[in-house]
């Protein structure tokens, strides 16, 4: 298939691009960031099957319709993430996560693509009433990032209903793996911990560390995208999780090293845990990488975090202090 991956230089996007190329597909990568070293290696290896186009998806002048000519599958992963920045810049998050998604949908509709795959977020559930959390759970976005990602899904499914654009939306839970992004005080805890560990600093555990997360390994996520693309489903949304939920204390024990406990921050659920019954039945998908296996693979690549930003209790408190009132 001929594919577009928006946000293809990002964490999940880069893993997806590599998987598509390995499987023999052609990939056109759209991103506002320049390709990294790994992307250059892929370009040399796959040549004409791999094409990078630098563009801001929220800028109509940069997002050219010609990019979508002859495309079969569009994987829309581009977007802004992180809680605190979305509270500081809600208009920017709306422009990129909502308007940008509409522009990608419209270009896809005009091109007559065969399948649109949207990377949604489990943050749409807010703090759920039920664990594991099914897709039927109430939608309760608690900050602009969560809201804008959910609105992107609503638009995608609206295009499926009105324009018959084949759409599958995947609500991703706590994705981790080698080269997960390394920035943000509300970023993935694993990247924060590894940056601290690799630079000789204690790991900053928020709260008592007994809160749990549905850590989902990135290769399982890319597999879910492929299954969704290959399926006959033309309008659907699914949770993508690991089938379990693991405590922060379990994670720091595997990493090993000194730990400092800091006050719990508002806006964070005590648990995330996906009910993945629906995707198992509909797409014949299930996670393959256990938490212990995934952490082993991450630690084998831990040198990557040596140059990452290192957060301390003081810097975390300073970065989030002014926004607690909005998150509580």
pLDDT digits (tens, 9 = 90+) for 119-172: 999 999 999 999 999 999 999 999 999 999 999 999 999 999 999 999 999 999
Q: Rounded distance, CA 285 to CA 249, Å?
A: 29
What is the average pLDDT across 303-310?
A: 68
- Going by C-alpha positions, the residue among 307, 289, 285 that lies closest to residue 298 is 289
Q: What is the pLDDT of residues 26-83, one digit of tens each?
A: 999 999 998 877 777 777 888 889 999 999 999 999 999 999 999 999 999 999 998 8
Would you say residue 280 lies in a domain? no
Q: Which of 163, 162, 10, 173 is nearest to 76 (CA)?
A: 10
Please tell me whether residues 39 and 71 are part of one structural domain. yes
Average pLDDT over residues 202-216: 94
pLDDT on residue 184: 47
Instruction: Average the pLDDT over 4-22 and give the result.
Output: 95
Position 185 confidence tier, pLDDT thresholds 50, 70, 90? very low
Number of Cβ within 10 Å of residue 198's Cβ equals: 17
322 and 198 assigned to the same domain: yes
71 and 188 inside one domain: no
Residue 75 is part of a domain; what is its CATH number?
3.40.50.720
- Do 196 and 319 sit in the same domain of this protein? yes
Domain count, the chain: 2
pLDDT mean over 180-184: 62
Please check whether residues 61 and 156 belong to one and the same domain: yes
Q: Is 233 a member of any domain? A: yes
Q: What is the CATH number of the domain that holds 182?
A: 3.90.25.10
Statement to judge: residues 126 and 223 lie in one domain: yes
Give the residue numbers spanning the domain of 268.
Answer: 176-213+243-274+288-327
Residues 44 and 144 occupy one common structural domain: yes
Q: Please state the pTM of the whole predicted model.
A: 0.93
Considering the domain architecture, whether residues 70 and 143 belong to the same structural domain is answered as: yes
Do 153 and 76 lie in a common domain?
yes
Kindly state the tokens that stand for 253.
């024990």
Both 182 and 164 in one domain: the answer is: no
In a domain, 207, yes or no: yes
pLDDT, tens digit (0-9, with 9 covering 90-100), for 238-289:
999 999 999 999 999 999 999 999 888 666 788 999 999 999 999 999 999 9
Does the pLDDT value for residue 179 go beyond 60?
A: yes
Is residue 282 assigned to a domain?
Answer: no
Per-residue pLDDT at 267: 66
What pLDDT does residue 254 have? 95
Q: Does residue 17 sit in the same domain as residue 154?
A: yes
Phi, then psi, of 13 in degrees rounded to 5: -60, -45
Give me the active site residues, please.
145
Q: How many residues does the chain have?
A: 328
Domain contains 281:
no
pLDDT bracket for residue 319 (50, 70, 90) = low
Query: What is the pLDDT, as a whole number, of residue 288?
Result: 98
> Residue 186: what pLDDT?
44
On whether residue 154 sits in a domain, the answer given is yes
**Is residue 37, in this structure, part of any structural domain at all?**
yes
Q: How many whole angstroms separate alpha carbon 11 and alpha carbon 221?
A: 11
Do residues 165 and 199 share a domain?
no
109, 118, 101, 4: which is closest to 51 by C-alpha? 4
Distances in Å between the alpha carbon of 327 and those of 147, 162, 187, 237, 321?
13, 35, 16, 27, 11
Question: Could you give phi then psi for residue 213, rounded to 5 degrees?
Answer: -135, 150
> Across the chain, what does the average pLDDT equal?
91
Q: How many CA atoms lie within 13 A of 176 on its CB side?
A: 29
In a domain? residue 203: yes
């Amino acid at each position: 298939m001929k594919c577009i991956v928006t946000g293809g230089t990002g964490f999940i996007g880069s893993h997806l691009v590599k998987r598509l190329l390995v499987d023999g597909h052609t990939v056109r990568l759209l991103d506002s960031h320049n390709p990294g070293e790994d992307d250059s290696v892929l370009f040399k290896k796959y040549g004409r099957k791999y094409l990078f186009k630098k563009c801001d998806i929220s800028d109509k002048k940069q997002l050219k319709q010609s990019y979508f000519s002859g495309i079969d599958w569009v994987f829309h992963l581009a977007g802004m993430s992180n809680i605190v920045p979305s509270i500081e810049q809600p208009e920017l998050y709306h422009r990129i996560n909502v308007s940008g998604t509409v522009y990608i949908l419209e270009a896809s509709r005009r091109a007559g693509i065969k399948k649109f795959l949207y990377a949604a977020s489990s943050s749409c559930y807010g703090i759920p009433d039920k664990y594991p959390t099914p897709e039927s759970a109430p939608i309760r976005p608690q900050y602009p990032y969560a809201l804008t990602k959910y609105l992107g899904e609503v638009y995608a499914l609206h295009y499926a209903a009105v324009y018959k654009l084949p759409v599958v939306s995947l609500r991703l839970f706590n994705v981790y793996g080698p080269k997960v992004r390394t920035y943000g005080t509300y970023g993935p805890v694993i990247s924060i911990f590894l940056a601290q560990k690799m630079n000789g600093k204690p790991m900053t555990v928020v709260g008592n560390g007994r809160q749990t997360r549905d850590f989902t390994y990135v290769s399982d996520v890319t597999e879910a995208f492929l299954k969704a693309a290959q399926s006959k489903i033309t309008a659907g949304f699914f949770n993508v999780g690991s089938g379990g939920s693991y405590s922060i204390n379990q994670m720091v024990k595997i990493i090993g090293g000194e730990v400092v406990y800091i006050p719990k921050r508002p806006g964070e659920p005590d648990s995330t845990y996906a009910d993945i019954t629906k995707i198992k039945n509909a797409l014949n998908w299930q996670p393959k990488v256990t938490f212990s296996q995934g952490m082993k693979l991450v630690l084998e690549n831990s040198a990557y975090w040596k140059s990452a930003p290192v957060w301390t209790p003081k810097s975390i408190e300073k970065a989030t202090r002014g926004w607690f009132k909005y998150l509580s």
